[in-house]
């Protein structure tokens, strides 16, 4: 029963996401794909996967332990803080911190998580900002 509730919630979330994406105003200078394409793709994937969960639920779902739920909640808090701090500290710093924490919680050693977080942040910055020319949040250091 919990899988069906989760699936239906996901479908409703996907519909809301698609409605929000369709309300994005397009500039006359936008590219051929436009700003609505990526959010609509995400909404479609979320809707299809949620429908699959709702239509084919697990007969005996195992809920995570209280400790695991606390870890999941902490990851959600980190992602919320990431979104809030992104314009304040900039893309590289915020992404490095979030990626470091999440990598560490997924089982890496702390030094390995720091290396992975920094590498991920710089790698994404290079690809999206320097190669593709997309603008990313600039912090007080200018990147």
Per residue in 90-105, pLDDT tens? 999 999 999 999 999 9
Q: Count CA within 13 A, CB hemisphere, residue 42.
A: 13
C-alpha to C-alpha distance for 60 and 54, rounded to whole angstroms: 14
Pure H helices in the chain: 2-22, 37-55, 66-89, 91-105, 110-125
* pLDDT value at residue 33: 67
Instruction: Look up the pTM and report it.
Output: 0.65
Nearest to 50 by CA among 14, 2, 17: 14
Backbone angles phi, psi at 27, to 5 degrees: -85, 155
């Amino acid at each position: 029963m919990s899988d069906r509730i989760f699936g239906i919630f996901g479908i409703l979330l996907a519909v809301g996401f698609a409605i929000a994406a369709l309300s994005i105003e397009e500039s006359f200078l936008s590219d051929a794909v436009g700003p609505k394409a990526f959010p609509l793709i995400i909404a479609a994937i979320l809707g299809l996967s949620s429908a699959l969960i709702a239509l084919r639920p697990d007969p005996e779902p195992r809920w995570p332990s209280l400790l695991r739920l606390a870890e999941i909640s902490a990851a959600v808090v980190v992602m919320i803080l990431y979104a809030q701090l992104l314009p304040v500290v900039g893309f590289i710093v915020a992404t490095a911190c979030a990626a470091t924490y999440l990598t560490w919680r997924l089982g890496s050693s702390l030094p390995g998580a720091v290396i992975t977080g920094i590498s991920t942040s710089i790698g994404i910055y290079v690809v999206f900002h320097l190669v593709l020319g997309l603008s990313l949040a600039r912090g007080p250091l200018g990147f």
